[in-house]
Amino acid sequence: MPAISVKAKKQIIKQIDLVVKKYLQKAINSSGANSGNPFVMAILKDFEPLLHRIHGLKTSLGNEMEIIAEIIAIETWGKENVIRKSRLDVALPQNVFQKIDSIMNGLSNVKFHPNYLKEKNEIFNACDNPSKKIEKHKYEFDLRLYDNSKKHYYFLEMKGPDPNTTEVPGAKRRLLSALAWGYYQHKTQKVDSIIGIYYNNKHPKPYKNPKVLNYFDPAGDMKVHEVFWNFLGKSSSTYSELLHIFENYGKKNKKKIWDGFSKLINVK
């Protein structure tokens, strides 16, 4: 049985089509746009706007991947167990946030390497010995999942392979806070917080972005490329099926895509 149903495939294709149409329209409306790099423009004056728009399409598609992740998760985990872009008032004992600060300071100053199991135990211990004063922060999470059969809660952040320097520690802090909040609220150790790097730009070589690996543990709170998609779909074939959907879309819409983007190129 396929990991991605016909219904989900149609929903995914709709999301792909939305972002492609958006950038084809931009090609028509602003054909003179470029990256502003004078050296690239000197070599590829007529072609650079095309490269600029393709880069923009890559960036915009990244935003759509969150919706596609939600579509896949809903099928597998159940609609009632999937929440995307949820805002939470995370209220925890002050000493728990102090423990999170301590972990973050150690990682930021490279006093130690990320160790998810150790971080998790330290945070749970802080929750078990709460201070009287409560602290509250508002956080947004890309995805919240609940595995009904295993009674397990997950908090996820989705990023591309090269997030900016400030994004990574911010995501780590939110995920540690979510880990604490899930344990504190649900009174269970079956809670995990994970960063999902939705593709590896060095594939098939291992993912080795130091900005991410300085904060996240590959053996613990990080899932990359096919591991991430297969986790969402609870199937070893989810990633390959998803990639096949994109490949088929590209083949079927090759002329439409070329007709739109070719308007950017002055071949005279």
Per-residue pLDDT tens digits of the chain, which is 268 residues long = 788 999 999 999 999 888 888 767 765 565 555 545 555 455 556 665 565 556 566 666 777 899 999 999 999 999 999 999 989 899 999 999 999 999 999 999 999 999 999 999 999 999 999 999 999 999 999 999 999 999 999 999 999 999 988 999 999 999 999 999 999 999 999 999 999 999 998 899 999 999 999 999 999 999 999 999 999 999 999 999 999 999 998 889 888 877 776 766 665 5
Q: CB of 183 within 8 A of CB of 127?
A: yes
Q: CB of 1 within 8 A of CB of 235?
A: no
Q: What is the pTM of this model?
A: 0.87
Q: Is 178 exposed, middle or buried (0-12, 13-18, 19+ CB in 10 A)?
A: buried
Other beta carbons within 10 Å of 262: 11
Q: Give the helix/strand (H/E) hosting 78.
A: none
Beta-bridge mates of residue 147: 152
* CA-to-CA dists, residue 48 to 37, 162, 253, angstroms: 9, 22, 23
Amino acid identity for residue 78 in this structure:
G
